[in-house]
Amino acid sequence: MYHYISEPPLEADIYRRDLSVTPENFEQQLRYLAENGYTTVTLRDLTYHLTRGYSLPERPVILTFDDGYRDHFFQAYRLLRRFNDVGTFFLVTGFIDENRSEYLSWGQVRVMHQGGMEFGSHTYTHPDLRGQGVDYLVWQIVGSQEALAERIEEPVRFFSYPGGFYDQQTIDVLQSAGFWAAVTTEQGGWHTSDGLFELERIRIRGNDTLEQFATKLEYAWEEENPQSP
C-alpha cells in the first residue's frame, strides 16, 4: 500500500512524511522485486485465483496506490513502466472533477490505463463511510464507480475504503453495485475467497529502508492467518 511517490515538502507534517516514498526508494523497491523473482499482478488476477482457481506466478505481489495523487503519473507510472510492472490505483473522482492540481487529471488516468495500469474507486470525496445511509453510500461509491468506468471504458470492480473505515452496510452496497473485492488498511498479506471485501495490505512507509521493505515482503503472513484460501 502506497500513497505519495514523491519527496515530502519541507513543511510536511509527520503524516505526510510517513505517507511519502521517494522516487529513489520506490525505484530501489521495484529493482528488488525484479531481482528476487517477484511478479506484479492485479487485483483482478488475485480475484480470479481465489474464486476460479486461476494460477498466479510463483512470487506474486500487488502494488496499490491510494488517492490518485499527480505524482502517481510522473513518478509511480514512469517507474512501473520502466520495470514492466503493473499497479492498481484507487481514485477519489470528485477531486479529479474539480481539477485539483495535486491530483491526477482524467487525461493522465487514460494514459495510465492504456499503459496497462488497473484502476479502482476510492469514493467521490474520501469520507468516513461508517454509519452512513444507503443513499449517501450509493452517491459516494456508485457515483465514483460510474465516473471512472466512463473514462476508462470498462467496468470498475475494485474499491479501497477511505482511511480504512467501513461497516457491513458499506460492503452490502459494494456487492450490490457489482464490485468484486475491496482493500482495507489492515496490515497483512494472506487472502481468502471469503474475505474479498476485507483484503489486507502491507503498508510501505516513507522511512522504510530497503531491508525493511524486504522483510515486509518475506514475512510469513500465513503463520498468523493459517486458514486455507
* Residue-averaged pLDDT of the chain: 95
CATH at residue 11: 3.20.20.370
Classify residue 22: in a domain, yes or no.
Answer: yes
Residue 123 pLDDT > 90 = yes
Which set of grid coordinates corresponds to residue 217? 515482503
- pLDDT at 99 (0 to 100): 96
Is 229 contained in some domain?
no
Q: For residue 22, what is the DSSP state?
A: -
Q: Looking at the domain assignment, is residue 186 inside a domain?
A: yes
pLDDT over threshold 80, residue 79: yes
Helix/strand/coil for 179: coil
Residue 160 zone, left/alpha/beta (φ > 0; ψ -120 to 50; rest):
beta
Summarize the chain as % helix, strand, coil (round to 5): 45, 15, 40
Q: Is residue 130 part of a domain?
A: yes
Give the tens place of pLDDT for each residue, 188-221: 988 999 999 999 999 999 999 999 999 999 887 7
Asked if residue 226 has pLDDT above 60, the reply is no
Domain that includes residue 151, residue range: 4-224
pLDDT (tens digit per residue) in 27-43: 999 999 999 999 999 99
Alpha carbons within 13 angstroms on the beta-carbon side of residue 20 total 14
Average pLDDT, integer, range 117-126: 98
4-62 pLDDT tens trace: 999 999 999 999 999 999 999 999 999 999 999 999 999 999 999 999 999 999 999 99
What is the count of structural domains for the chain? 1
pLDDT bin (cut points 50, 70, 90) of residue 225 is: low
pLDDT over 90 for what percent of the chain?
93
Give pLDDT, residue 112. Answer: 98
pLDDT given for residue 221 in this prediction: 72
